[in-house]
Amino acid sequence: MTNKSTSAKVRNRHGEVTLQQNETDSPIIPVGQLEHLQSFKPEAVDWVIQQTQAEAEHRRKEHRRVNTLVFIERIIGQIFALIVGFMAIGGGVYAAIKGQPWAGATIACAAITGLAVAFITGRKKR
């Protein structure tokens, strides 16, 4: 969890201005801000806590949905790679049966090599 706080004060002879900013990746508001809210609008604290809970639930659902879709995408990609590999081998076998054994072997090897390179370089980037 990362937190970042910034504050600035400016004073002159007429008064003082204070600016504070808190940034966090947590859905929970800092205690100091809740205490300040409690001092001038007590009924808003419960509302803020309810909204924080709703945001946390939404975040969890969205995270679960994204993970599920990424999993489905990867499985579909592997299935299509398997289909392409089988089709390439089938094309190479077909060419070899029709009297072109070198062309058939080249087609099958090139397709399998292409798939292997795609899998290896795809893993290295992650």
For 14, other C-beta atoms within 10 Å of its C-beta total: 6
- 35 within domain boundaries: no
Residue whose pair of structure tokens reads 């801000």 in the numeric block: 33
Q: Name the band, by pLDDT with cuts 50, 70 and 90, for residue 124.
A: low
- pLDDT the model gives residue 103: 93
Predicted TM-score (pTM) of the model is: 0.58
Quick one: which H or E segment has residue 93? helix 43-97
Q: How would you class 7 by CB atoms within 10 Å of its CB: exposed for 0-12, middle for 13-18, buried for 19 or more?
A: exposed
Q: Are residues 16 and 70 in the same domain?
A: no
Q: How far apart are the first and last CA of the chain?
A: 23
Q: What is the pLDDT of residues 17-26, one digit of tens each?
A: 888 887 766 6
- 52 within domain boundaries: no
- 34 within domain boundaries: no
Residue ranges making up the domain that contains 110: 64-126
Q: Is the per-residue pLDDT at 8 higher than 70?
A: yes
Q: Is the per-residue pLDDT at 126 higher than 60?
A: no
Q: Are residues 20 and 72 in the same domain?
A: no
Q: Is the per-residue pLDDT at 1 higher than 60?
A: no
Q: Is the per-residue pLDDT at 14 higher than 90?
A: no
d(CA 53, CA 46): 11
Domain count, the chain: 2
d(CA 104, CA 106): 5
Q: What is the pLDDT of residues 45-80, one digit of tens each?
A: 888 888 888 888 998 999 999 999 999 999 999 999
- 37 within domain boundaries: no
pLDDT, mean over the chain: 86
Q: Is the per-residue pLDDT at 123 higher than 80?
A: no
Q: Is the per-residue pLDDT at 102 higher than 60?
A: yes
- 16 within domain boundaries: yes
